Chains A and B, each alone.
Chain A
Amino acid sequence: MSDHGDEFSAVGKSFPRLEGFEKVTGATRFLTDLELPGILCGKVLRAPYPHARIVSINTKRAEKLIGVKAVITAEDTPKVPFCIIPRVANKLPLEDKKVRYIGDEIAAVAAETEEIALEALDLIEVVYEELPAIFEPEEALKPDAPLLYEETGTNIAEHFYKEYGDVKRAFQEADHILEDRFETSPVTPCCMEPRSCIASFDGSGRLTLIANTQAPFSLRQELSKVIPLPIKKIRIIKLPIGGAFGSRLGMDSIDPICVFLSRKSGKPVKIVNTREEEFVTSRYRYRMVIYLKTGVKKDGTIVAREAKVITDNGAHNYQGYTITAGLCQKLTFVYKIPHIKFDGYVVYTNNVYGGAFRGYGNPQITFAAESHIDMIAEKLGMDFLDLSLKNIVEPGHKTISNCQITSCGLRECMIRAADVTGWREKRRRPGRRGIGMASMQHAGGGIMIFFGNINCNYSSAAMKMNEDGSVNLMTGSSDIGQGSDTVLAQIAAEELGIRFEDIRVTTADTDLTPMCLGTYGDRVTFIGGNAVVNAARDVKKQLLELASELLEANVDDLESKEGRIFVKGSPEKGISIPELAEFSYFKKGRPILGRGIYDDPISKPDYGTGYGTSPAYSFASQVAEVEVDVETGKVKVLRITSAHDLGRALNPMAVRGQIEGAMAQGIGSALFERLDWVDGRALNSNFLDYRMLTALDVSAIDPIFIESIDPNGPFGAKGVGEPALVPTAAAIANAIYDAVGVRIKSLPITPDKILAALEEKNSISKRWSNEK
């Protein structure tokens, strides 16, 4: 946890946030705080039925209401479907024929005030013909199930199948086989700032969309197709954003709707979701049913794994396919398992459609996989730790799914987490307290994706040195609260040899900053950071050339440190960077501009997996300690110790923030959080009924940094934003089993499930003793 000593001047230090002063004084302007002259309020009419045909929409009365400036339905739009994975796009910004979930967008209004806009929504008359609806993905697979997309003839949106090795034979050779069914719940991101956007056109018909986005350049592409407008006619700006966590990676219907409203009214339009709309329409973590089969030898060698996964895709395609297919890759990690079979079904239901939320499928599959490891250890009479250590991947290993591991501190993570917690002494101790472990692997530098038609994992940065030697760093990378602006400034300062305080950062404006694919897959530090390193090297090269001229020395003989460039070995023979900058601008007439790009140097696209590989992988092991109240079924998490292989902690305080924050979300989804859908309607669409953690619910968190120094990471760093919540549910489930001997295989692990399991366990043991 300690800061690095003298090795570096800027990285490895806990610099406070660049934007700290603004954020603690209320000066930060979020999108929802922004007003423009003449701006209109946009509101969306959403479907009240989970599945219905739209017979007619009459907007006449709404249009006549004084103060209403635009009313739109699908007929006012080009009806181009969108999806972050364009190949499977089937969501219209405004639906025209059918609605498929409670919340589907069908019309929208722009009015002078919110009150008028809401009144206008009430005046829109829609005639629906209700259709039978389906809400459980396993039921949706039955032959007589109602179809969401009749033209496809099935509710299977996507199917992904893959086999590595010879799974059938491997299971025949296994000494023990375990088969279990696990289930996860829909967990919603609860961003504190509701999703919102502001659209406006200038006199030339050029669009500016200020959006809550993690990926402005992807949004520009998505929007360009749907509006449609050429890329050059669109500017996307991301302002400070009140939370995203993956859920704001792709376009939402409100983005194009806002644009259509602005185009029709000729005015800027702002749409802000209500909190209820956030709960009803946000991209949440897909719920999955996971059938897992694991084969193991007597000595604890895991020989085969087979998973059948059914993902509730909800009503429209979004990331169901990539998230589900990606699980196959996850199964080939953590442990070296030679034979793996994966069968994934992405199934339509009349629930809201899901998406990415911190972990990208990993929390779901890791809950199942690491619970299973605990069950196998129990069956073999082995300790979880020994069983894990026997099978884990090592540095340099290439998975059967073709992922090249470079740095890997997984073994150290496990051993440190166990040592710190006194694992062996506490395990299987009598009483109501229990201890459980789980581990994970996650992309540490983004994933290879298709951007348009190009396969890449790319970011770029530009740097302008001013005449006083200060630097403006411009990058497409989006700080969504995690603190990437600060870390990228640290990287720039380190590489340039100037002070952190002398860097200003401008990000995520498609007119002003170079391109970046966005903030996802733990890629900004690794990919964005490397782009910044390269831009800084470009600036440094220009400075060295200037210094070489002024100092009459070879570039190779010069060194840059602490804001000065000097001849190696004779620091007195040098010149300060501000002097060089001044010289460049005023004597040479040459601005100092640097540029840098970075694309994954290792990965090759693997079309077979349907999911990209990463240039680096992060690892973590967690130990949860819990206390279970057998009277009430309540679980108290006493402490979670989380050891992370993160390459290098570039800003230890920011890293800790990522781990602490993710962990709170992990504990929440393990024990409390679930959208309670009944017939497609979320009954808990508010903060009182949807239980996210409060300050009173958090437990002690003990983060441990394992610095494996990745060969390709900027200063050895890898991503660490997502991992901390990935193994939490399994670690807690395993700890609960250790405490009271019941195995809960569905999330969240609520008191009623524990009480029911305890009752069943007691009645079985009672029956057993009676029979004896």
Chain B
Amino acid sequence: MKHHIETKINGVSYHLEVEPHWTLLELLRRVMGLTGAKDSCGMGECGSCTVIMDGRTIYSCLTLAVRADGKEVLTIEGLAKGEELDPVQKAFIEHGAFQCGFCTPGMILSSKALLDENPSPNEEEIKRGISGNLCRCTGYNMIVEAIRGVLEGRVKRG
């Protein structure tokens, strides 16, 4: 039997009928056509499926779709305002913080949630903040630099 949920995804309210066994990742990718969150391990180990729900990062592959009822979900598709990128997205481009780009949506959302929660993280806190997201291409250092770049940009702008 399908469940009725009301959820806000990237700022838009939806009334959706979801199967009880659907994960949020399935809902996003199959029903909503939001393929930015990736399906890489399906077991909450790699972080490619990371989205932000009510301000906190979650593995959408381990979260049932019904859990989004009454919640606000932010996916990578909702981060930029049109052509205007979020500072984290800009920093990832400027610092070469991705290569193949498959883990990037999750990595960016984890970085954003980290900075929202802790406006001035130190090196260790940055690394911890993204340690739930695996990346095989970059070796992480350039991602850490991109996040530091966001912090420096904030300082510059005052």
Contacts and interface: CB of A to CB of B under 8 A. Distances in A.
Interface stretch (B1-9, B33-41, B62-70): B33-41
B139 A192 contact: no
A339 interface: no
A482 B99 contact: yes
A695 B41 contact: no
Interface in B17-58: 29, 34-43, 45-46, 48
Interface string B98-109: 111111110010
B102 A242 contact: yes
A483 interface: yes
Contact of B131 (A25, A27, A692, A694): A694
A58 B34 CA distance: 40
A656 interface: yes
Given A194-B40, A664-B140, A16 B99 contact: no
A481 B101 contact: yes
A687 interface: yes
A692 to B, nearest CB: 6
B136 A189 contact: yes
Nearest to B42: A275
Contacts of B98: 17, 20, 23-24
A665 B143 CA distance: 16
A660 B135 contact: no
Given A660-B142, A661-B99, A192 B40 contact: yes
B139 A193 contact: no
A660 B141 contact: yes
Contacts of B100: 191-193, 240-244, 480-481
A116 to B, nearest CB: 15
A192 B93 contact: no
A15 to B, nearest CB: 10
B38 A695 contact: no
A243 B95 CA distance: 20
Nearest to B85: A24
Contact of B134 (A33, A480, A692): A692
A29 B138 contact: no
Contacts of A663: 139
A30 interface: yes
B92 to A, nearest CB: 5
B60 interface: no
Given A26-B36, A192-B136, A275-B42, A17 B93 contact: yes
| Residue of A25, A656, A701 with most chain B CB atoms under a 10 A cut-off | A25
B101 A19 contact: yes
A454 interface: no
A693 interface: yes
B136 A24 contact: no
A193 B42 CA distance: 12
A654 interface: yes
B134 A192 contact: yes
B101 A32 contact: no
Contact of A687 (B79, B96, B134): B134
Interface string A653-682: 110110011111100000000000000000
A192 B46 contact: yes
A747 B68 CA distance: 45
A756 B101 CA distance: 41
Interface residues of A, number: 55
Contacts of A14: 96
A245 interface: yes
A274 B96 CA distance: 29
Contacts of B131: 694-696
B71 interface: no
Nearest to B83: A21
Nearest to A189: B136
A482 B98 CA distance: 9
A476 B105 CA distance: 28
Contacts of B89: 24-25
Nearest to A660: B139
Contacts of A21: 85, 93
Contacts of A265: none
Contacts of A481: 99-101, 137
Given A24-B93, A192-B38, A657 B127 contact: no
Contacts of B141: 660, 698, 700-701
A28 interface: yes
B40 A657 contact: no
A665 B136 contact: yes
Given A189-B136, A661-B139, A16 B96 contact: yes
Contact of B39 (A17, A32, A480, A654): A32
Interface string B118-133: 0000000011101111
B9 to A, nearest CB: 13
Given A21-B93, A660-B141, A698-B139, A688 B45 contact: yes
Interface string B73-84: 001110110000
A402 interface: no
Contacts of A23: 98, 101, 104
B150 interface: no
B111 to A, nearest CB: 10
B38 A193 contact: yes
Contacts of B103: 192, 242
A190 interface: yes
A686 interface: yes
A700 B101 CA distance: 22
Contacts of B136: 189-192, 243, 245, 661, 665, 692
Contacts of B108: 24
A724 to B, nearest CB: 9
A673 B90 CA distance: 33
B94 A242 contact: no
Those 8 A-B pairs whose CB atoms lie nearest each other, nearest first: A26-B36, A481-B100, A242-B102, A664-B139, A26-B76, A23-B101, A687-B45, A33-B35
Interface of B: 29, 34-43, 45-46, 48, 75-77, 79-80, 85, 89-90, 92-96, 98-105, 108, 126-128, 130-144
Interface of A: 14, 16-17, 19-21, 23-30, 32-33, 189-194, 240-245, 274-275, 480-483, 653-654, 656-657, 660-665, 686-688, 692-696, 698, 700-701
20 contacts: A16-B94, A20-B92, A23-B101, A24-B85, A25-B76, A25-B89, A26-B37, A30-B35, A30-B102, A32-B39, A192-B40, A244-B100, A274-B42, A275-B46, A481-B137, A660-B141, A664-B138, A693-B139, A695-B127, A696-B127
Given A26-B105, A481-B137, A701-B141, 18 more contacts: A20-B92, A24-B85, A25-B76, A25-B79, A26-B37, A192-B48, A192-B136, A240-B100, A240-B101, A242-B40, A243-B136, A481-B100, A482-B99, A653-B95, A656-B142, A657-B137, A660-B139, A694-B131
